[in-house]
C-alpha cells in the first residue's frame, strides 16, 4: 500500500486549508535555525524554503526567525502570502517541504513587544468581585464603561510547552499579623485568547474599531498563570504585578484573523450606553465564537465560551490607543479570563473552586490550586466554512517545583 501523502488531508481536519496558522520551528538537524512554518494537519510547511524555491516576492520576510517582519508588512501582504500558501499546498512538489510535527521543535512565534491583559468577561469579573470583595458591588463602577486592563511583562511570555516554575513572593492572608515569604500556595491559570498586532500606529494616533483588521494579524490561546496569594496582597492600589509577571504562556500557532471570519458573532447585549469610540453598533460583529477546553493532567475541568465576552478585541484595541499610545508590531493583548455563565464554564481555578472552598475532583486527586508537576492544557476551536472546525493551537505548561 502506498504511503499516504501529508498533502492528502481529510476535508474536516481542524488544521486544513481554511486554517493555516503560522508558527516558528527548528529541526533536529539545525536546532539553532528558526524558520517560519505553517501548520497543515499534523505537519508543518517550511514556508521560507517553499517561498524561495517557488520564487515568492515575499521570501525575504518569510526568511526571518520570527513572524514580526511579515506581520509589519500589513494586511494586503498577509492576504497575498496566505493565498500563495494555499496554492502551494495544491502542488505535489511541495511535499518535501512538509515536516511531521513530531520531528520539529516549536518556538515562540513572534517577538513580543508590549503586553496588555484585559478583564473582559462579565461573569469572571463578577465572580472575582464576589470572592475578593464580598461586601461590595461585584463590578466596579467603571467596568461597563471601559475595557479594564493592565500592562504585563512581555519578556516573560513563553511558548506552549515551556515549564513554569512555581514563583515565590510575599503573601499575607487577612488574619496573618505580618506578611511571610515563600512559594505560592495558590497557583492558578487563566484561560484567555490573545490578539497579536501586526501593523503599528503612530504616536498620537487613535485606532478606531473599524481599523481592527488592518492592525491585528492573528489570534493565539493564552494562559495567564497567576499566584493568587501574591496577587491578593499586592494588587491594591495599582493592580497585578509579581503575582502575574513570572510567566504567560501562548500557543505556538497564530491563527490569521481571516481564518476566523465564520466565527464572528455579536457580543452580549450592552445595558449601558457607550462613548462613541467604544460604540460598536453598525460595525461588523466584534465577538468570536471560540470554544475553549481547559484540562488538568488530561482531564477536562472547564469549557469556557469566548462568545460570552462583554468587551470585544476591537473595543480593546480602540481603548488601548484612545489616548494616543502607539501600537508596535508584536504587541500582544489578551482578552482576560474567559468565563461563561455556568459553573463548568469558568476559566480559572479561583472561580472553579471558589477560592479553594470547593475542591475539584480529579482522578489523580482533588485540586483547589495547582500542585507541582500538574500539567495544564488549553485547546480550542471555532466554526469555519461549511461546518469545518478551525483548530487553535494548544497552550500547555507543566508546573516545576520552586526548588528545582
Report the interface residues with Ca ion, using CB under 5 A: 117, 190, 224
| Nearest residue (CB) to Ca ion, 46 versus 224 | 224
Residue closer to Ca ion (CB basis): 85 or 355: 355
Residue in this structure with the C-alpha cell 493592565, named with its chain if needed: 150
Residue holding cell 521543535? 105
Q: How far is the CB of 235 from Ca ion (least distance, A)?
A: 12
Pairwise CA distance, residues 193 & 312, whole Å: 11
User: What are the residue numbers of the active site?
Assistant: 124
**Torsion angle, alpha carbons of 377, 97, 218, 70, to 10:** 140
For Ca ion, give the closer residue by CB, 16 or 167.
Answer: 167
- By beta-carbon distance, which residue lies closest to Ca ion? 224
DSSP code at position 5: P
Q: How far is the CB of 336 from Ca ion (least distance, A)?
A: 5
From the CB of 150, what's the least distance to Ca ion, in Å? 9
Judged by beta carbon, residue 117 or residue 280, the one nearer Ca ion is: 117
CA distance 215 to 229: 37
Instruction: Let me know: does 88 contact 53? Beta carbons within 8 Å.
Output: no
Min dist CB 258 to Ca ion, Å, is 26
Nearer to Ca ion, 61 or 196 (CB): 196
Cα 88 from chain centre: 28
C-alpha cell at 3: 504511503
Q: How far is the CB of 248 from Ca ion (least distance, A)?
A: 9
Under 8 Å between Cβ of 117 and 156: no
| Least separation in angstroms between CB 170 and Ca ion | 20
Which is closer to Ca ion, CB of 23 or CB of 340? 340
Pairing of strands 248-250, 216-223: antiparallel
Per-position DSSP letters for 30-88, written without gaps between them: STT--EEEEEETTEEEEHHHHHHHHT-TTTTGGGSSSSHHHHHT-HHHHHHHHHHHHHH
Per-residue CA distances from 140 to 47, 133, 148, 218, 235 (Å): 47, 10, 10, 31, 15
Amino acid at each position: 500500500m502506498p504511503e499516504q501523502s501529508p498533502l492528502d488531508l481529510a476535508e474536516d481536519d481542524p488544521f486544513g486549508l481554511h486554517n493555516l496558522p503560522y508558527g516558528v520551528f527548528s529541526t533536529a538537524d539545525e536546532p539553532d535555525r528558526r524558520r517560519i512554518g505553517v501548520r497543515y494537519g499534523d505537519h508543518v510547511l517550511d514556508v521560507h524554503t517553499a517561498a524561495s524555491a517557488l520564487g515568492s516576492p515575499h521570501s525575504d520576510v518569510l526568511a526571518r526567525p520570527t513572524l514580526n517582519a511579515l506581520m509589519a508588512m500589513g494586511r494586503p501582504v498577509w492576504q497575498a502570502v496566505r493565498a500563495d500558501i494555499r496554492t502551494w499546498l495544491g502542488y505535489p512538489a511541495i511535499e518535501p517541504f512538509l515536516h511531521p510535527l513530531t520531528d520539529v521543535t516549536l518556538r515562540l512565534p513572534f517577538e513580543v513587544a508590549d503586553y496588555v491583559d484585559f478583564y473582559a468577561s462579565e461573569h469572571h469579573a463578577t465572580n472575582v468581585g464576589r470572592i475578593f470583595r464580598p461586601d461590595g458591588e461585584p463590578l466596579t463602577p467603571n467596568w461597563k464603561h471601559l475595557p479594564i486592563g493592565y500592562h504585563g511583562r512581555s519578556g516573560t511570555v513563553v511558548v506552549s510547552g515551556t515549564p513554569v516554575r512555581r514563583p515565590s513572593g510575599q503573601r499575607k492572608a487577612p488574619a496573618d499579623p505580618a506578611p511571610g515569604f515563600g512559594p505560592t500556595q495558590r497557583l492558578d491559570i487563566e484561560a484567555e485568547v490573545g490578539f497579536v498586532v501586526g501593523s503599528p500606529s503612530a504616536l498620537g494616533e487613535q485606532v478606531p474599531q473599524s481599523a481592527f483588521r488592518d492592525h491585528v494579524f492573528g489570534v493565539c490561546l493564552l494562559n495567564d498563570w497567576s499566584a493568587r496569594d501574591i496577587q491578593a496582597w499586592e494588587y491594591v492600589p495599582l493592580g497585578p504585578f509579581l503575582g502575574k509577571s513570572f510567566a504567560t504562556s501562548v500557543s505556538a500557532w497564530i491563527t490569521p484573523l481571516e481564518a476566523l471570519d465564520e466565527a464572528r458573532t455579536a457580543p452580549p447585549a450592552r445595558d449601558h450606553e457607550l462613548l462613541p469610540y467604544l460604540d460598536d453598533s453598525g460595525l461588523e460583529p466584534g465577538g468570536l465564537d471560540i470554544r475553549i477546553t481547559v484540562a488538568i493532567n488530561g482531564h477536562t475541568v472547564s469549557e469556557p465560551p469566548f462568545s460570552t465576552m462583554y468587551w470585544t478585541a476591537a473595543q480593546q484595541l480602540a481603548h488601548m490607543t484612545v489616548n494616543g499610545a502607539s501600537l508596535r508590531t508584536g504587541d500582544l493583548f489578551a482578552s482576560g479570563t474567559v468565563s461563561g455563565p455556568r459553573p463548568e464554564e469558568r476559566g480559572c481555578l479561583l472561580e472553579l473552586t471558589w477560592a479553594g472552598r470547593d475542591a475539584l475532583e480529579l482522578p489523580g486527586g482533588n485540586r483547589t490550586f495547582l500542585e507541582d508537576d500538574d500539567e495544564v492544557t488549553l485547546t480550542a476551536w471555532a466554526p469555519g466554512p461549511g461546518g469545518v472546525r478551525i483548530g487553535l493551537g494548544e497552550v500547555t505548561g507543566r508546573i516545576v517545583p520552586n526548588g528545582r
